[in-house]
Structure 1
Amino acid sequence: MRKPLVEIKNLKKYYPIKKGLLKRTVNHVKAVDGLDFSIYKGETLGLVGESGCGKSTTGRTILQLLKPTDGEVLYEGQNLVRMPGRELRKLRKDLQMVFQDPYASLDPRLTVGQIIAEPMEIHRLYSGKEKDKRVEELLEVVGLNSYHAKRFPHEFSGGQRQRIGIARALALEPKLIVADEPVSALDVSIQSQVINLLQDLQGKFGLTYLFIAHDLSVVKHISDRVGVMYLGRLVELADKDNLYAEPLHPYTKALLSAVPIPDPLAKRERIVLQGDVPSPANPPAGCAFHPRCSECMEICRKQRPAWKEINGHYVACHLYN
């Protein structure tokens, strides 16, 4: 049995809503509301869902860029949530992130060489000529040239900037990289280049990815397993082939029905969801998806469905309880 690199247990992230002169907390935005899943060494776990479902918050909370409201994040058996700051800082080099926006995630005042070298200086891994050599190696690994180290971010295209962000993430030789929609801001032709680069780097360095995206075609291409989120909760998690071939949850079926088919003659029944996504500040009772679900039952309105395994396929739906 494989041992997970990262285990997430009952992870929650709530943001307080304050009102009045005294700024009393009157409610909470439940961005992440009780997640349980694992990420295994060397795999790519895709995380998909509509905008605002909590995907990016999940990634940032796992890396402790945001402190969770409740729950545990176990990295190689160590609970990052309760870890003192000094010990957590030592582990930072194993846990890196590629951000969504390649324009905003790079400091415009620094050269590319300084941006990539900064993590090495903070963790005191390289210095002097060794550091410069390492920067040049990383630039070449991600498909750029060593002379690019002297240029500034504004001199590069979006795809090149994302490559720089990937090089920065690789600088400390991490074990886990959280890729937060790393291709959503790029042209389609550039997306494939970055995806192929991530796959090549995974094979070369033995990386583990949490790949966050909303493009289901991209997720299928790069992921080993796929988790589907809705309103801060996981509704389904399975091997990508099983999930795309036989989705169990009504929400997953609706998402997959919207994926374009490259064959113009092929036909697929389009499942159109009615209504809007409920507010995470006031989620529905029971199953969060029930106001939009065509298969809603009375129990769905009252009771939150259990997270259940069906032959390695995890789903939270009363249809299978």
Structure 2
Amino acid sequence: MKNFTFDDLNGKVCVVTGGAGVIGKAIVYALATVGAKVTIVSRGKGKGKQVAEEISRETGGKVIWIKGDVLDKAQLEQAHQSIKEQLGPIDILINGAGGNSPQATTGVEQIEDTDLDSLENTFYGLGMEGFDKVFSLNFKGTVLPTMVFTRDMLQKKSGVVLNISSMNAYHPLTKIPAYSAAKASVNNFTEWLAVHLAKMGIRVNAVAPGFFITNQNRFLVLDEKTGDYSERGQKIVTNTPMGKFGEPEDLQGTVLFLLSELSSFVTGVVIPVDGGFNAYSGV
């Protein structure tokens, strides 16, 4: 019989891309508390190194930061080598890098007759540079780290990949077409890769967070002047049966379950952690 703890994660070498972000930080913290050796991979040294040192100090765990741009394969390969030298071969990869941008966001939710004289705030006013940036960060920024950081798992014939998806993959939200399309691609890629790697002993799953206030969506869900929910933010809360935004810590249990041997026969799934949003029709 299995031991119903996360003890099997103790000593595992984990890579978390985007680990300095709101959601990534909560995941790194959870891993450190169960004894995993964690590397935060991100572009910026200041925030990444700070978060690594803070979590290491608070938990007593081994948490380091390594520079790595998720869209630069050569840089990721350098990071891979550094991680192996400092911590050992990689057992677990969490693809947490992602986010949206105002440059890939429409100003209106739906086009109406009054918008026809000027389409600047609609889909037709989006610049492809912003669209490409958001799509690449979220989708290619999942594919490239997977190509690099799972090679150790192939050699050991064991390992786990966890992708961070979104509610947008199930229900594309208004205003953010690039982000929604990218996260839908992440879901599809999760299923595809799970099949591709199954006989190598590597499991691939994803979590789809509902609505959490992050640095990337703050401008959409909060009123900058008052700090209250924006109209959009209130709409999200109204359509979430639990009636609130999630806290980053709400993801920790599901993440540890999917990474541990407790889910050893689970692969190719995407689990919503959303306060019931995906289940609610609005009626």
Q: TM-score, length-normalised on structure 1?
A: 0.26
Larger Rg: 1
Q: TM-score, length-normalised on structure 2?
A: 0.28
More helix by share: 2
